[in-house]
Structure 1
Amino acid sequence: MAFPGETQMKSGEETVKALPGKIQMIRGDGHLFYSEAETFVEELKTYSSASDNYTVVSIIGPQGSGKSYLLNTLFSTKFDVLNAKKGRKQTTKGIWIAKCNDPCMIIMDVEGCDGRERGEDGTLFEKQSALFSLTLSDVLLVNMWYKDIDRQNGGSYGLIKIIFEQRAKIEAPKTTIIILVRDYDDETPLDITKKDLKERMNELWDQVHPASKGLKMSDYIKVKVKDFPNKSQEQEFTQKSKDLAQFLCNNAASGSSEQKHCASSFAYSSQIIWDLICKNKRLSAADHKLAMATYLCSQIKNEILESFDEDTGYRSLTSGTSMSVIKFNTELSLFLDSIFSRYEEDTSAHDRNTMEKVKLELQKETLKRLKPIFKDKIACLSTEMHSLAKREVHHKLNNLQELNDGSKSDVINAYMTKFDKKRGEVNLYFSEVLKKQRKELENDLKRIVQEEEHKIQTKRETRQSKTKLATNLLMYMGPLAIPIIKLSGMNIVGGVIKPKEEFEQEEEIEPKEEVEPEEEFEQEAEIEPKEEVEPEEEFEQEEEFEQEEEIEP
């Protein structure tokens, strides 16, 4: 099976060309350079459209066995190699990585095992780095000297045993292990050598996974054997390198694309795995999958949030340009639907619960940005209804013959209906904001109605009081009471006693002919006819009054 996004090599082509640069991913003391690794691998997107489907190839083996030299020959990388003229000592410390574009690959050069520099304590890092390489790699190259094949403790068998023990705990596509027999000679036929090595691999597997467990090596690992002559045989060594490079490009199993994480998450995945290995914790595939799902979903969420400023829909909503509330709500719903649909599509391959959890974070962040804008729009509409009510409620209530709870509710409901009609359909995410704003508007309208009702009731009571007073004055004083009545703010026209302003309002609506003062006086006199007292009778009454005064000094 070929690599995803591969370009197949033809026989005789040059080896795969690595992209410039290399970095130390894990230092010799175990420190992982996360930021550097993330930036380094992220650059694959610049060079390859297939960077989401990449292959990790790593190499382990004894120190000084030519691992770095072989990788440089295979991929044209620039890993440091042993300079025999300066002595045989450790060259690669920790784990270094390089990258290739076509096909998209990450190459890992791992520190050699069994080096005297680390001494007896060096086995810990050897085990950690071997397990790390196994967990991350699609193809694991094991460098082995031909002379060490039949040795009990040689040939990196100890590392292979650790790898076999941990491999069954990791849920992943098959790992391809290619044993590279270095300095191979033709004394022993290659077929026999391959058979012996595969039998030895099966023995190691059975030692850590007895048959009673029912775990077959073929379900987890695919073993291949490749022979390499001594590098002094330059022409033959180069040809073998080209053959292996072609094999890696065309036939190495990198796992199905849906199970691979994008290159941008390589550093994060590496950090999780390395941290667990260093803490000697069990490599739980389920936990790792969950952590990666959280990381990738969060990454997609952040990318969506960062894209808002370039989104025409978002700019339209936040530009502050005049837009009706109905249109704003329509545009808002379309924008939210597009954002959340995009997120669901991009995270569909990940754990459902994790995806939903991070989606809630996306919703929260999105609504946090848009709620103030929506609130301002609704508040403006609410203010418009408030101003309209202030202008109209007095007139509406004043036209009512009776001010009761039902009539007042009708007035309030009329404005609330107008508000709902102008706002249009509101997205469910903003229902709480709308509910709060409607409640505030309703309370405002109730307060306005209450204030205007109080004014109208006070005015009506004042009018009744003044009308009653004017009527009594006319009854006892006749036309002489008219000036007093006018001073109190009332007037008499056509036999009707009303406040002056009401007459003025009526005159503005339907102008009448002015009434001469004498005619007005006659009309006023006709309102309450009063018996005229004859002079003689009036005189007699005065005499009687004087007599009464004499009787009662």
Structure 2
Amino acid sequence: MGKAFQVIDENKTFSSDLANYFKDGNLAESGLNYHLVSVFGSQSTGKSTLLNALFDTEFGVMDEKARGQTTKGIWMGAASQKSSNSKADIIILDVEGTDGRERGEDQDFERKAALFALATSEVLIVNMWESQVGLYQGANMGLLKTVFEVNLSLFQAANKKSPKSRILFVIRDFLGNTPLENLAETLLADLSKHWHSLAKPSPELENSKISDFFDIDFSTLPHKVLLPEKFSEAVDHLRERFLDETHKEFVFHEDYHRNVPLDGWPMYAGQIWEQIELNKDLDLPTQQILVARFRCVDIANQAWAQFNSDLEQLDAPFGTDTLIENFGPPLGSIRTKALHTYDELASRYTKTIYAENRFELLGKIDGLLTSYYRSQLAAIQTSVLAIFWASLSKRDPSVPFHKSLLAVEMFAKESYHAAALEATIDKDFYSFSVEEATFFDVLSSEVSKARKQEMATIATKLGKQVKRQLGAKLPAILTSADENTWDKVQKLMETEISAILVPYDGGSDFHLGGDAKDNAQGKGTVEKAAWAALDAQLKDYTREEWLMARLRDRFEDKFRYDAEGIPVVWTQGDDVQAAYIRSRDHALLLLPVLSSAKLQDGTVLRKPEHLSSENDDEIDYEELVDPATAESLRAQFKRFADTAFVDAKRAVAQSASHVPYYMWLVVLVLGWNEFMMVLRNPLLVVLLLMLGTGAYFVVSMNLGGPVLSVADAMIQRVTEEAKKRAREYLIEQDNREVPIELQDLSKKENPRQEETTPASE
């Protein structure tokens, strides 16, 4: 890239297109890997020619036929040549010549340009002829004195030591008559003299030397026209000092570098020129910090924009509760890419500014990724919990529950850890230990929930067992209805609960993997289920229909059957009324016993205190049957018992009115002929045998009373039906229209005819 670019024009305007110049020349990526050289000297001393020869640049040179100003302002170019021992780019500033007739006595631009070159360059080439050594103006001593003085105030303004620079005096048209050592001694003497005559800005600088701030170096070049070959040879030797880092007289040193990356140099140089133009104190370190801050922020924004663009291209539902496959690696890749972009471009600037902005960029990226990662962890938790319950529902029934639960719990923990680790964006990015601890707490709650569900299943199963046992044993206890009834119920409950808890060590271990507290709660759950079964049974057994049926059963068992369970046939002389009263009172004993569950000691049957609750479904053991219902049952039962008593009395009366035995002898004597007639008729004999057999069974089985009752009921029914039909017939006759009465009237109108009719008959 040899083409020159004007950085500052002759009107002191700084170019705004310098950054594009670097980009077009592929220099913007050089970072800190560059060196900057500037040259100034008297006008028409061959500065541009020297630079073109040294660095193969294309600065404009003077037309030898018309001597005059060639370089106006400050121009920039880049060396086209590189050495194998140095890959750094070399940027050259060609400064407008001093002491030109075009500007005359206006030395303002000369001083500002020299100051600009000194402030920005690592090496300042002072181009001069041998004949100018020892001169004040020709050697630019006046200009250098002014620059040094301002430079001191600038360093003092920085309040710390600024980078040194190398001032390289290139003595042109060197003849060799005067040794270089003598020329250098003369120049150093002049420089030291002028340095000591400077107005020092602070007492600390009174005894300072020029070598404290500048490295002074010297080089010579033969006459270009008279000794072209030697000139070229000397230029080659001088070029090696710029290009070869291994050269013993290598001009660049790391202390000279301003540590401003080349992509930020346009801003850095622009601010320096602006402050020079405004005649302000020039604080070079501050300018470096400002450039670093601006560029680092700009680079951080570029990296952030690149990160967001890459994030959109992933096209995944980040930040939602959706489980994303291959979550971590892609995000880690774009995170690393963004940080690499920033590091590559911003690490060249001031380390503190670079680190500060990197921290902010990393905070923005990691803040967003952390929210995404937490959402992913939440999705992982949901997924693992779903797997936990699914695995538990498919467990092997032959394996004890607590072993299956422990295995599923360990699998869930391992699955979460593996999934969270796989989703990790970077090993140093974010630790999921807090979320994992939270998941373990949630999983522990789910394990407890699973135990409770299994405990509820066991309690339900055992409750059904208790209910079956109560259904088989409780009715007999309640029907017996004596003063020990509820003590028997209490004993039955204790026995049944103890029996169903035998496989579970009496309730001390339900084999669910829980602790003593869990087992105690489980035992309580089983006991609640057992008492709930009792409540359900008692609700059925205290219904009005069931109680009425039991009252009837108790009455009939006592009234209609004897002690051996044989039906009673009431005969003359039996005390039906006493039997009725005993049976009735025996049946009615059921009501007070079942109306209130009172134990023999007078207390009411109650659940254990640790099982009591405010559940509205629980029954009231103190009043199982309310008084109104009990009174209604007594009235219904009395009507039923009275009916049975009346039927028994009627049976006794019917058995008492039998035919005397002697009448059977009279019937036999008087009916002998009819009896013989029946015996001679086969049909009558068969009919007689059937009637006799039926009568035998009725008598032998003591069914006379029931048969007579049935016959009596049939006769009554037939009688009632006959009366009903007769009544309906009479009512129908009363309501009929009687046309005969009209006919009778007509007959009365013709009495003769009425009288003659019988006669004619």
- Measured against the shorter chain, the TM-score band is 0.5 to 0.7
Structure 1 residue matching 2:289: 3-state secondary structure? helix
Q: 1:30 aligns with which of 3, 9, 12?
A: 12
How far the C-alpha of 1:266 sits from its partner, in A, is 3.2
Q: Distance in 2 between matches of 1:364 and 1:468?
A: 65
The one-letter code of the counterpart of 1:93 is K
Q: 1:174, CA displacement in angstroms?
A: 3.7
CA drift at 1:533: 2.8
What corresponds to 1:253 in structure 2? 251
Deviations 1:89-130 (A, max 9, x none): 33212211111241431111111223343454x422222211
The aligned amino acid for 1:65 is T
Superimposed CA distance per residue, residues 477-515 of structure 1 (whole angstroms, 9 cap, x where no aligned partner): 34999xxxxxxxxxxxxxxxxxxxxxxxxxxxxxxxxxx
One-letter code aligned to 1:32: F
1:244 to partner: Cα distance:
2.7
1:113 is matched with: 98
Q: What CA distance in whole angstroms lies between the structure 2 residues aligned with 1:112 and 1:128?
A: 12
Which one-letter code corresponds to 1:181 in the other structure? I
Distance 1:348 1:97, change over 3 A: closer
- CA–CA distance in 2 between the matches of 1:536 and 1:369? 86
User: What residue in structure 2 maps to residue 241 of structure 1?
Assistant: 235
**What amino acid sits opposite 1:244 in the alignment?**
L
SS at match of 2:61: coil
Per the TM alignment, residue 74 of structure 1 is displaced from its structure 2 partner at its CA by: 2.1
In structure 2, C-alpha distance between the alignment counterparts of 1:143 and 1:27, rounded to whole Å: 21
Q: Aligned pair 1:81/2:71, yes or no?
A: no
AA matched with 1:109 = D
Assess, with a 3 A threshold, how the Cα gap between structure 1 residues 533 and 157 changes in structure 2: closer, same or farther. Answer: same
Query: Equivalences for 1:378-527 in 2 at 5 Å?
Result: 378-381=377-380, 424=420, 471=539, 475-478=543-546
Local SS of the residue matching 1:180: strand
For 1:476, the aligned partner's letter is E
Residue 200 (str. 1) matches residue 190 (str. 2): yes
Deviation by residue 1:52-111 (Cα, 9 ceiling, x = unmatched)? 4322221111222221122122222111112244x4433212211111241431111111
Shift of 1:279: 2.9
Q: Which runs of structure 2 are paired with 1:133-148 in the superposition (5 Å)?
A: 133-148=117-132
1:430-463: CA deviations, max 9, x gaps?
Answer: 689x88xx89x99xx99xx9xxxxxxxxxxxxxx
- Give the C-alpha shift of residue 351 in structure 1: 5.1
In the TM superposition, 1:235-384 aligns within 5 A as 235=228, 236-249=230-243, 250=247, 251-256=249-254, 260-294=259-293, 297-298=296-297, 301=300, 328=327, 353-367=352-366, 369-371=368-370, 373-374=372-373, 376-381=375-380
Moved more, 60-69 or 275-284: 275-284
Superposed CA RMSD in Å reads: 5.6
Alpha carbons of structure 1 residues 254 and 428: separation in structure 2 relative to 1, 3 Å: closer
Q: 1:141-176 deviations in whole A, cap 9, x for unaligned?
A: 112244444444343222211332244528455422
Change (3 A) 1:480 1:228: farther
SS in 2 for 1:477: helix
What is the TM-score with the length of structure 1 in the denominator? Answer: 0.60
Secondary structure of 2:216 counterpart: strand
Q: Which amino acid aligns with 1:92?
A: T
Out of 110, 113, 116, the position equivalent to 1:126 is 110
Distance 1:73 1:164 in 2: 29
- The one of 120, 123, 144 aligned to 1:160: 144
The CA deviation at 1:208 is 1.8
In structure 2, the CA distance between the partners of 1:55 and 1:428, relative to structure 1 (3 Å rule), is: closer
1:263 and 1:131 mapped to 2: Cα distance?
20
Distance 1:45 1:27, change over 3 A: closer
Q: Compared with structure 1, are the counterparts of its residues 367 and 317 closer, same or farther at alpha carbon in structure 2 (3 Å cutoff)?
A: farther
Query: Could you list the runs of 5+ residues in structure 1 that have no partner in the other structure?
Result: 1-18, 393-413, 450-463, 482-527, 542-553
What CA deviation, in whole Å up to 9, does each residue of 1:330-377 have, x standing for no partner? 986798689779978997786554344212221133235535643542
Comparing 154-163 with 316-325, greater Cα deviation is found at 316-325
Q: SS at 1:283's partner residue?
A: coil
One-letter amino acid matched to 1:238: S
Q: Which residue of 2 aligns with 1:524?
A: none
Contact persistence 1:60–1:142 (CA under 8 A)? yes
Match of 1:175 in 2: 165
CA distance in 1, matches of 2:277, 2:22: 23
Q: Specify the alignment match of 1:493 in structure 2.
A: none
- Does residue 21 of the first structure (1) align with residue 8 of the second (2)? no
Summarize deviations over 1:204-237 as a string: whole Å, max 9, x none: 2212266962311122222233344554325144
**TM-score normalised to structure 2 length:** 0.46
Residue 13 of structure 2 aligns to which amino acid in structure 1?
Answer: H
| Distance in structure 1 (CA, Å) of the matches to 2:72 and 2:12 | 10
User: Secondary structure in 2 aligned to 1:63?
Assistant: coil
Q: CA 1:329 to 1:105, structure 2 compared with 1: closer, same or farther past 3 Å?
A: closer
1:97 to 70, 76, 93: 76
Contact 1:56 1:107 in 2 (8 A): yes
SS in 2 for 1:199: helix
3-state secondary structure, aligned to 1:82? coil
Counterpart residue number, 1:495: none
- Which SS does the other structure have where 1:65 is aligned? coil
| Superposed CA offset, 1:258-289 (max 9, x none) | 95444334334323332332333323243234
Distance 1:242 1:110 in 2: 22
**Counterpart pick for 1:533 among 610, 633, 637:** 637
Q: Residue 208 of structure 1 aligns to a residue in which SS?
A: coil
Count of paired positions: 439
Residues 116 and 534 (structure 1), Cα distance of their counterparts in 2 relative to 1, 3 Å cut: same
Bigger Rg over Cα: 2
Amino acid at match of 1:158: G
Name the SS of the counterpart of 1:533 in structure 2: helix
1:533 is aligned with what amino acid? F
The verdict on how the C-alpha distance between 1:183 and 1:350 changes in structure 2, with shifts beyond 3 A counting, is: closer
What does residue 521 of structure 1 align with? none
Is the 2:261–2:348 contact (alpha carbons within 8 Å) kept by the matching residues of 1? Answer: no
- Structure 1: how far apart are the matches of 2:40 and 2:48? 10
In 2: Cα distance, 1:42 partner to 1:281 partner: 33
Alpha-carbon separation, structure 1, partners of 2:20 and 2:186: 41
Distance 1:478 1:391, change over 3 A: farther
What letter corresponds to residue 275 of structure 1 in structure 2?
Answer: E
Query: Residue 223 of structure 1: which of 213, 216, 224 is its match?
Result: 216
SS at match of 2:98: coil
Aligned-pair identity (%): 25
Using CA pairs below 8 Å that are at least 6 residues apart, which structure has the higher relative contact order?
A: 1
Q: What runs of 5+ residues in structure 2 fail to find an aligned partner?
A: 84-88, 392-409, 450-531, 550-629, 646-761
